[in-house]
Amino acid sequence: MIDTEVTALLALGSIALFVIGLKRLSKVRTARSGNALMAAGMLLAVLITLLEIGLVDYRWIAGGLLVGGGIGYAIVARAQATQMPEIVARFNGFGGAASALVALSLFWAEVVEVTGDGTAVTALGLAAAVTLVLSVLIGSVTLSGSVLAELKLRGTISGTPRIPVRGALMGLFVLGGLVLGGLAVSAFDDPLVASLLVVGLVLASVTTGVVLVLPIGGADMPVVISLLNSLSGLAAAATGFALGNQLLIIAGTIVGAAGLILTQIMCVAMNRSLLNVLIGGYGGDGGATEHGEYEGVVSADAESAAMVLEAAQSVIIVPGYGLAAARAQNAVHDVARALRQRGCEVRFAIHPVAGRMPGHMNVVLSEAEVPYELLFEMSEINQDFSQTDVAIVVGANDVVNPAANSEPGSPIAGMPILDAALARRVFVIKRSLSPGYAGIKNALFEQDNTVMLYGDAKQVLDELAGELTANT
């Protein structure tokens, strides 16, 4: 055991690391150090908790840290930049599962192992008993929902099946889980009955997560992942209340609030409400737009495009998921470097939902060591497209579709987009004219100032870089 005042000071230091780290995550340049600060804050919180407990077998603690750290490192080290959203979903699931397991262990110690005298709630306290049930409920929902979200992002599960009376069904499962949990912590005379009731709580919660995520399409999955991230924080906070651990309450609340803020940012960027996203059925497998539906589309090769770029004084590059999928971040950096060597101003325009989640394009481009100062958010650069010589759209679709502004009946009507269409010349690097997640044709492809460069993004960009370098 350590002095209470020392513990309080260390806890304050841990909280400060969380807050400062979260603040630094808001900027690309400081995001890496912010992540490190938050990790240090969590490690300090763990150490404080262990010191407060006093007598523990540190061999198990050390073993857990080594095994868990090794698994985490192996997952991230092997992951490609395109898989980052899937990794986030997986870690959300791990967080929810951890909270649920801690709550279940507390239930075992305070309810199952208590003799059948009806004293469990009294021993736990009413607040702890309620938050214990909530922790199991929210943590299990987060686990099953996150697993399903990752499988959808991987393409292992596709489609957006409709579930009849889905809202009522989810409400029924949640209410049923709460009732079962409430009965369990009331300490029935038979501990076996209490255990079976908790199993029912877990099953109801897991089913709720499946029903929540299954009908939601790929275009909305980033929003769901962000929401599940928030839920993992709320599960941790609930566990903190059950354990009486203030640090866990604070850390969980910060994660929960950050997840909700990010969810709201993404919904605004898509001009969708959270309720509309959760209804599901939007952007499941993309549409079936045929090439014949387009008229007047012009295409060219890399050599012709390079001739235009050689004369350009300003270029804005718009990356999308296709860039990440083609592993073309190094190639696009080569193009940007070749243009800058010719005296051209080059910038990257990042849409909030480009890729699979906010910041995805930043991560992909940072992997290629694209300078931070070349990356601009939509609000910072959108007004500059009309004064730009060339816009290069690489693997993006819906986030540059003018239909969002010109077609009130479009599924993406009102969605904030990057105004790449206003540039004097637009090059779109894409394998085909296939639609994006919204499943609609892109009016940008038919504009008089747009030229399609068909092919794999990495191959086309390599050819462009080669042409620009050869003619320097």
Does the domain made of 291-470 have the CATH classification 3.40.50.1220?
A: yes
Residue 377 DSSP code:
E
What lies within 8 Å, CB to CB, of 94 at 6+ separation is none
- Look at residue 176 in the predicted model and tell me its pLDDT: 93
DSSP H or E segment with residue 75: helix 58-78
Q: Which residue has the tokens 């989640």?
A: 357
At residue 144, the pLDDT reads 94
Number of Cβ within 10 Å of residue 164's Cβ equals 6
Helix (H, G, I), strand (E, B) or coil at 296: coil
Residue that has been written with the tokens 């889980």 in this structure:
177
Low-confidence ranges of the chain (pLDDT < 70): 1-3, 28, 53-56, 81, 112-124, 187-189, 218-219, 280-292, 471-472
**Those residues with Cβ within 8 angstroms of residue 68's Cβ, 6 or more apart along the chain or in another chain:** none
pLDDT of the residue at 432: 87
pLDDT of residue 408: 83
N-term to C-term CA, the chain? 69
Closest of 136, 132, 115 to residue 187, by C-alpha: 115
Assign 3-state DSSP to the chain and report helix, strand, coil percentages, each to 5: 65, 5, 25
| Interacting residues of 462 by C-beta distance below 8 A, sequence separation 6+ | 331, 334
Residue-level pLDDT at 291 = 40
pLDDT at residue number 361: 87
Residue with tokens 């950050």: 258
pLDDT of residue 101: 93
At residue 3, the pLDDT reads 63
* pLDDT the model gives residue 338: 94
| Spatial CB neighbours of 260, under 8 Å, sequence gap ≥ 6 | 227, 230
pLDDT (0 to 100) of residue 400: 93
* Other CB atoms within 10 Å distance of the CB of residue 24: 18
**CB crowding 290-303: b at 16 or more within 10 Å, else e:** eeeeeeeeeeeebe
The pair of three-digit structure tokens given for residue 464, joined into one six-digit string: 């462009």
Report the pLDDT value the prediction gives residue 344, as an integer from 0 to 100. Answer: 95
Q: Is the pTM above the cut of 0.85?
A: no
> Do the Cβ atoms of 216 and 276 come closer than 8 Å?
no
Backbone phi, psi, residue 392, to 5°? -110, 115
The sign of the CA dihedral 258, 261, 265, 266 is positive
- Total residue length of the chain: 472
Q: What is the pLDDT of residue 282?
A: 54
pLDDT at 218: 67
CB 134 within 8 A of CB 238: yes
Q: For CA atoms 401, 405, 409, 415, give the dihedral sign.
A: positive
Which residues participate in catalysis according to the annotation?
398
- Residue 131 host element (H or E): helix 126-154
